[in-house]
C-alpha cells in the first residue's frame, strides 16, 4: 500500500534518555527522504487542515478545503493590500508575499513614501479624497510640473492624470500578481478562486473609480476640477483660483516689478494687473451671466458704447442642465450649469459634460454608462457600462455550498436567571453559506442564461442542508447522502432552554432555573456533563402514555413541567433523544453504554463526601437499565448490594434500615381512667378529647406523634410499615373472651389521617391478657415477612398480667431460623 515508504519505529518512554537520543536517528531518516513540501509553512498548514477535517468528520476534498482557506485569507487581506500595498500595517509592516514560497512580490515597483507603499484609499468615511490625495498633488507639482506655471491647464491636467493612473496601475498590477501567485497551484476555474478574483476586481474598480478625476471647470475659476469623478460638491481645482502670470502690459510698468494678473486662473485673453488702468475696466454688461470676468477688457475710452469682458460673446447661459431622469437606482439630476452661449436660442440646457453620467443599472456595478451622449437618457434606454458583470445571485442548486472547517469562536458572558449566575464561555458558530453564482452576465444584459451555480463542474459538491435543531450546525455529509442519520460537529446550543422537574437546579456547578438558555453548552458535551441522565421532551402519543404503553425508552411525566406546563411531557432516553434529532449520536460507545443505565443514585451521604486526598465523591448508581420495571425490595442474589424500596438495585451498602413496627396496645377498662389525658399542646388534641380524653387517648396521641415524627424526620413514607394491635379480656361467669383487634396492618406512612381515624374507632374495654396479643404480633410478622426489614414490637400496657413467655420464645425462634432478629420495646 505504501510502496516501501512506511517505517514503524519503537519509541522509548518520554522521560528516558533514549527518547532524546532517538531524535537524531529520526532526523537522519527524514534527511534521507525526498522533500514533499517547499517549506514548513505549507506542511504545517496542510497538517492543521487534515487534523481539523478529521476532528469534524469532514470527508470532502482536502484540496478544496485548502483552496477555501487560501482564498479566505487573501480576501481578508485584500483591503489593506489594495489600500496600502502590503499585508499588514500595524504593529509591524508585512509586505506582499507568496504564501507558499514566502518570496516577496517584487514587481512592479510601487510608489513609495518613506520606503513604504503609499496609501491609495481612505481609512474611513470621514477622510475625504482631497485630504488623502494632497501628498500626490504636491509631489507632482514639486517634482514634475507646477500648475501655477502651466500656460495650458488642459495639458497639465492630462499629465497629472497620467501620473495618477500610472501609480494606480502599478498598485493594481502588484496586487493582481500577488493574488495570482498565491492561487497558482490551484485550478483557475475553481469557484472560490473565481469568487476571490471577483472580490479583488471589485476593490480595484473601487480604487480606479476613486482616482478618476472630474476634469470639469472649477466653479470659481477656469481651471479643471481635480476632485474624483462623481463627487457631489461644487467643482474645485483645489488652487487659490488666482492667475499668477505677470501683466501683459510690461512697458507701462517702467522699471518696477511687473505685478501678477488680476483675473481668475484659467481666463482667456491677455493678463491684466490692477496696479495701472490698462483697459476700460467698466463693469461688463453681461456680468450676471456665467463665465463673465466682470470688467470691460476694451481699450480705455472706446466709443462703441458696449462694455464687454474678455469672454466677449462667450458668456454662458448658466441655467441648470436639462438632464433629469428616473433610473433603476433612483432619480438622477445633473448638477452642472448650461455652457451654451447666452445669445443662442436653445430649449435644451447643455452642460460641458459630454458623456452620460448615469451609473450602470446592474446593482453591483458603479461604472458609468458607456454612451457618449449626455442626453441619451431622455430616450428609453438602459445605461449599461458595456462590461461583463459577475452574477451576484446565490447558487440555486440544493444543499449548502460551503461550510468552514474551523467554526467561528467568540468569547461571551451569559447572565442566568438565578441571581449571581454569570457564565463566561466560548461561543462556537458554524460559518456556512450558499456561494455566489460563478457565471458572468454578458455585456448589456441583466442576467445570464441557465441556473445560478457556484461551480462549472457537473456534479459540484454540496453539503446536506439539514440543521441540528439545537445548535443549528449543518450536516457535513454530501447533499442527498444515502445514510438516514446526519452527521456534524456540534456547536453552542443556541436554540435550547433548560427545563427540569424542579424550577431551580444545578448544572456543571452553576445554579440555573427553568428557562435558562443553553447557549454556553456544546451539543456534544451537554450529556457528558450530566453523566447518567434522562431527557425531557413533549409527549408524542398522549393516548399511549395514558394506557401505560409508551415504549421502552419513554416514561411519562405525570407532573406539569415548564415551559408550556399544560402540554404533556415524557422522560426519554439518551438514545431516543438523538434518534429524534436524526443526527448521529456524538458521544463515544462507552459513554452511550453508560447513558443506557438507570440514573437513580443511592441517597447515602457517604457518596457525597470528598475523600482525604480531595478526590471527588464516588457515586453509586442503580445497576439496572434506564426506565426498568420497579424491582421487588428483596435481598439481591449473592448479597450484592441492596434493592431500595422504590425498586432500584444499588451495589453499595443499604444506608437505610427499614422496619415493620407493630404496636401492641392495651385497651382494657383501666385505660379509660382520666388521670392521664392527651396533651393539648400536641397534634390531634381536639379529635382525641371527643371520646378519648383519658389514658387510651394519651396513648393514641403518642402513637400518632411517633408515626408523624418518623415520617418527617427521615422521609420514610414508603420505607417503613406500621401495624396496630389492640387487646382486652372480657370475663363472664362461665367463660372469658380474649379479644384481639387489628385496626390496620402493614400500612405505610403515606396517609396518617386515615390511620388515625381507624385507631380512634376503638375505645377502652374489658380486662388485660397479653398472650393472644403477642401471638397475633408473631402472626403479622409471618404474614408480611420481609428479609430487608427489621421487625419491631412496641408493647404498651397499664396493667399486670403473666408474661407471654412461650409466645415470645416462639416468635424469636422462627425469626432466628430465618437468620433475623426481632426487637422488642415495652
Are 11 and 22 a contacting pair, CB within 8 Å?
A: yes
Higher per-residue confidence, 809 vs 721:
721
Write down the mean pLDDT value for the chain.
Answer: 85
Pick the range with the lowest mean pLDDT from 114-128, 195-209, 381-395: 114-128
Q: Is 144 exposed, middle or buried (0-12, 13-18, 19+ CB in 10 A)?
A: exposed
pLDDT tens digit sequence for 562-572? 889 999 999 99
Task: Give CA angle at 611 (606, 616), nearest 5°.
Answer: 85
* Residue 41 banded pLDDT, cuts 50, 70, 90: confident
Give the residue from 388, 371, 364, 374 showing the smallest Cα distance to 332.
Answer: 374
Domain boundaries, the chain: 37-241, 402-534+573-595, 658-825
Is residue 823 classed as helix, strand or coil in its secondary structure?
A: strand
What are φ and ψ of residue 789, in 5° steps? -120, 150
Mean pLDDT of 112-139: 81
Q: What is the mean pLDDT of residues 32-43?
A: 74
* Separation between Cα atoms, residue 773 and residue 666, nearest integer Å: 9
Specify the pLDDT at position 405. Answer: 58
Q: Report the chain's C-alpha Rg in angstroms.
A: 49
Q: Specify the pLDDT at position 4.
A: 63
Higher local confidence (pLDDT), 368 or 115: 368
Cα–Cα distances in Å, from 509 out to 73, 87, 421, 501, 502?
40, 45, 10, 18, 16
Contacts 24+ apart (CB under 8 A), 44-47: 45/69
Phi-psi region of 85 (alpha: psi -120 to 50; beta: other; left: phi over 0): left
pLDDT attached to residue 7:
74
Helix, strand, coil share (%) of the chain residues, nearest 5: 25, 20, 55
- Cα–Cα distance measured from residue 738 to residue 726, given in angstroms and rounded to the nearest whole number: 11
Q: Which residues pair with 311 in a beta bridge?
A: none
Q: List CB contacts of 138: < 8 A, sequence separation 6 or more.
A: none
Q: Which CATH superfamily is domain 658-825 in?
A: von Willebrand factor, type A domain (3.40.50.410)
Strand 330-333, strand 324-327: pairing: antiparallel
**How much is the average pLDDT of 383-394?**
91
pLDDT at 733 over 50: no
Q: Hey, how many other C-beta atoms are within 10 angstroms of the C-beta on 561?
A: 20
Q: Which residues in 154-179 are b (16+ Cβ under 10 Å) and which e? A: eebbeebbebbeebbebbbebbebbb
Please say whether the dihedral angle defined by the alpha carbons of residues 130, 135, 136 and 138, taken in this order, is positive or negative.
Answer: positive
Which band of pLDDT confidence, cut at 50, 70 and 90, is reported for residue 35? confident
Element (H, E) at 402: strand 402-403
What is the C-alpha separation between 41 and 73, in angstroms, rounded? 14
> In this predicted structure, what is the pLDDT of residue 708?
87
Output the pLDDT for position 482: 93
**pLDDT score at 613:** 59
Rounded to an integer, what distance in angstroms lies between the CA atom of residue 746 and that of residue 763? 22
pLDDT at 63 (0 to 100): 78
3-state secondary structure of 84: helix
What is the model's pLDDT at position 99? Answer: 86
HEC secondary structure over 238-275 = CCCCECCCECCCCHHHCCCCCCECCCECCCCCCCCCCC
pTM (predicted TM-score) = 0.60
What percentage of the chain carries pLDDT values higher than 70? 92
Q: Is residue 727 scored above 90 in pLDDT?
A: no
> For the ranges 320-324, 383-387, 454-458, which has the lowest average pLDDT?
454-458
Q: pLDDT (tens digit, 9 = 90+) per residue, 760-798? A: 888 887 777 778 888 888 889 888 888 778 889 898 888
pLDDT of residue 407: 63
Tens of pLDDT along 598-642? Answer: 999 998 888 877 655 566 778 899 999 999 988 876 777 776 888
Sequence-ordered list of residues with C-beta below 8 angstroms from that of 511, at least 6 positions apart, any chain: 416, 418, 420, 421, 504, 505
Amino acid at each position: 500500500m505504501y510502496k516501501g515508504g512506511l517505517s514503524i519505529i519503537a519509541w522509548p518512554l518520554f522521560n528516558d534518555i533514549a527518547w532524546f537520543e532517538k531524535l537524531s536517528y529520526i532526523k537522519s531518516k527524514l534527511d534521507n527522504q525526498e522533500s514533499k513540501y517547499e517549506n514548513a509553512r505549507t506542511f504545517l498548514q496542510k497538517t492543521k487542515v487534515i487534523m481539523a477535517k478529521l476532528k469534524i468528520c469532514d470527508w470532502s476534498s482536502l484540496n478544496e478545503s485548502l483552496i477555501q482557506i487560501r482564498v479566505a485569507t487573501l480576501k481578508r487581506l485584500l483591503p489593506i493590500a489594495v489600500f496600502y500595498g502590503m499585508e499588514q500595517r500595524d504593529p509591524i509592516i508585512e509586505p506582499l508575499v507568496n504564501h507558499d514560497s514566502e518570496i516577496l512580490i517584487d514587481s512592479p515597483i510601487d510608489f513609495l513614501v518613506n520606503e513604504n507603499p503609499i496609501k491609495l484609499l481612505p481609512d474611513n468615511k470621514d477622510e475625504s479624497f482631497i485630504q488623502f490625495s494632497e501628498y500626490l498633488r504636491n509631489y507632482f507639482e514639486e517634482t514634475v510640473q507646477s500648475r501655477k506655471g502651466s500656460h495650458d491647464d488642459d495639458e497639465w491636467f492630462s499629465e497629472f492624470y497620467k501620473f495618477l493612473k500610472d501609480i494606480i496601475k502599478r498598485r493594481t498590477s502588484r496586487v493582481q500578481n500577488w493574488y495570482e501567485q498565491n492561487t497558482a497551484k490551484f485550478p483557475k476555474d475553481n469557484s472560490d478562486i473565481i469568487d476571490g478574483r471577483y472580490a479583488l476586481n471589485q476593490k480595484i474598480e473601487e480604487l480606479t473609480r476613486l482616482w478618476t478625476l472630474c476634469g470639469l471647470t472649477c466653479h470659481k475659476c477656469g481651471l479643471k476640477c481635480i476632485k474624483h469623478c462623481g463627487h457631489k460638491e461644487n467643482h474645485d481645482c483645489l488652487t487659490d483660483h488666482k492667475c499668477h502670470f505677470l501683466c501683459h502690459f510690461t512697458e507701462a510698468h517702467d522699471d518696477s516689478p511687473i505685478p501678477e494678473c488680476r483675473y481668475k486662473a484659467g481666463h482667456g485673453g491677455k493678463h491684466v494687473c490692477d496696479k495701472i488702468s490698462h483697459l476700460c475696466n467698466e463693469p461688463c454688461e453681461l456680468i450676471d451671466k456665467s463665465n463673465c470676468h466682470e470688467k470691460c477688457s476694451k481699450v480705455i475710452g472706446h466709443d462703441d458704447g458696449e462694455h464687454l469682458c474678455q469672454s466677449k460673446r462667450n458668456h454662458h447661459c448658466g441655467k441648470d442642465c436639462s438632464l433629469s431622469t428616473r433610473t433603476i437606482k433612483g432619480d438622477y439630476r445633473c448638477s452642472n450649469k448650461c455652457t451654451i452661449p447666452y445669445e443662442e436660442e436653445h430649449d435644451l440646457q447643455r452642460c460641458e459634460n459630454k458623456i452620460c453620467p448615469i451609473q450602470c443599472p446592474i446593482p453591483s456595478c458603479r461604472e458609468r454608462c458607456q454612451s457618449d451622449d449626455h442626453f441619451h437618457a431622455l430616450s428609453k434606454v438602459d445605461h449599461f457600462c458595456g462590461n461583463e458583470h459577475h452574477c451576484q445571485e446565490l447558487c440555486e442548486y440544493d444543499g449548502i455550498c460551503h461550510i468552514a472547517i474551523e467554526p467561528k469562536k467568540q468569547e461571551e458572558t451569559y447572565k442566568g436567571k438565578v441571581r449571581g449566575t454569570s457564565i463566561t464561555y466560548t461561543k462556537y458558530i458554524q460559518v456556512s453559506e450558499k456561494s455566489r453564482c460563478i457565471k458572468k452576465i454578458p455585456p448589456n444584459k441583466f442576467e445570464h442564461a441557465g441556473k445560478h451555480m457556484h461551480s462549472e463542474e457537473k456534479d459540484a459538491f454540496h453539503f446536506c442542508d439539514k440543521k441540528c435543531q439545537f445548535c443549528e450546525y449543518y450536516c457535513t455529509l454530501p447533499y442527498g447522502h444515502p445514510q438516514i442519520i446526519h452527521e456534524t460537529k456540534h456547536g453552542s446550543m443556541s436554540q435550547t432552554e433548560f427545563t427540569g422537574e424542579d424550577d431551580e437546579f444545578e448544572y456543571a456547578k452553576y445554579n440555573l432555573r427553568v428557562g435558562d438558555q443553553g447557549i454556553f453548552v456544546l451539543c456534544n458535551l451537554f450529556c457528558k456533563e450530566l453523566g447518567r441522565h434522562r431527557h425531557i421532551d413533549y409527549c408524542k402519543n398522549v393516548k399511549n402514555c395514558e394506557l401505560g404503553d409508551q415504549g421502552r425508552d419513554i416514561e411519562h411525566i405525570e407532573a406539569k413541567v415548564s415551559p408550556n406546563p399544560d402540554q404533556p411531557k415524557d422522560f426519554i432516553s439518551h438514545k431516543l433523544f438523538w434518534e429524534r434529532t436524526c443526527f448521529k449520536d456524538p458521544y463515544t460507545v462507552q459513554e452511550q453504554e453508560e447513558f443506557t443505565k438507570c440514573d437513580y443514585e443511592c441517597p447515602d451521604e457517604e457518596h457525597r463526601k470528598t475523600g482525604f486526598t480531595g478526590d471527588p465523591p464516588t457515586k453509586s448508581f442503580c445497576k439496572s437499565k434506564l426506565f426498568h420495571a420497579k424491582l421487588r425490595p428483596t435481598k439481591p442474589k449473592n448479597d450484592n448490594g441492596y434493592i431500595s424500596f422504590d425498586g432500584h438495585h444499588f451495589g453499595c451498602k443499604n444506608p437505610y434500615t427499614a422496619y415493620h413496627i407493630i404496636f401492641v396496645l392495651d385497651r382494657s377498662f383501666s385505660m379509660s381512667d382520666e388521670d392521664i389525658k392527651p396533651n393539648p399542646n400536641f397534634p390531634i388534641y381536639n379529635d382525641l378529647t371527643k371520646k378519648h380524653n383519658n389514658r387510651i387517648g394519651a396513648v393514641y396521641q403518642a402513637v400518632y406523634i411517633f408515626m408523624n415524627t418518623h415520617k418527617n424526620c427521615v422521609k420514610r413514607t414508603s420505607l417503613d410499615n406500621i401495624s396496630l394491635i389492640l387487646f382486652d379480656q372480657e370475663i363472664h361467669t362461665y367463660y372469658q373472651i380474649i379479644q384481639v383487634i387489628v385496626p390496620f396492618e402493614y400500612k405505610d406512612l403515606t396517609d396518617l389521617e386515615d390511620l388515625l381515624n381507624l385507631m380512634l374507632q376503638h375505645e377502652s374495654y374489658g380486662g388485660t391478657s397479653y398472650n393472644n396479643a403477642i401471638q397475633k404480633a408473631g402472626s403479622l410478622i409471618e404474614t408480611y415477612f420481609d428479609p430487608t426489614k427489621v421487625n419491631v414490637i412496641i408493647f404498651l400496657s397499664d396493667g399486670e398480667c403473666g408474661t407471654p413467655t412461650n409466645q415470645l420464645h416462639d416468635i424469636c425462634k422462627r425469626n432466628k431460623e430465618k437468620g433475623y432478629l426481632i426487637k422488642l420495646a415495652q
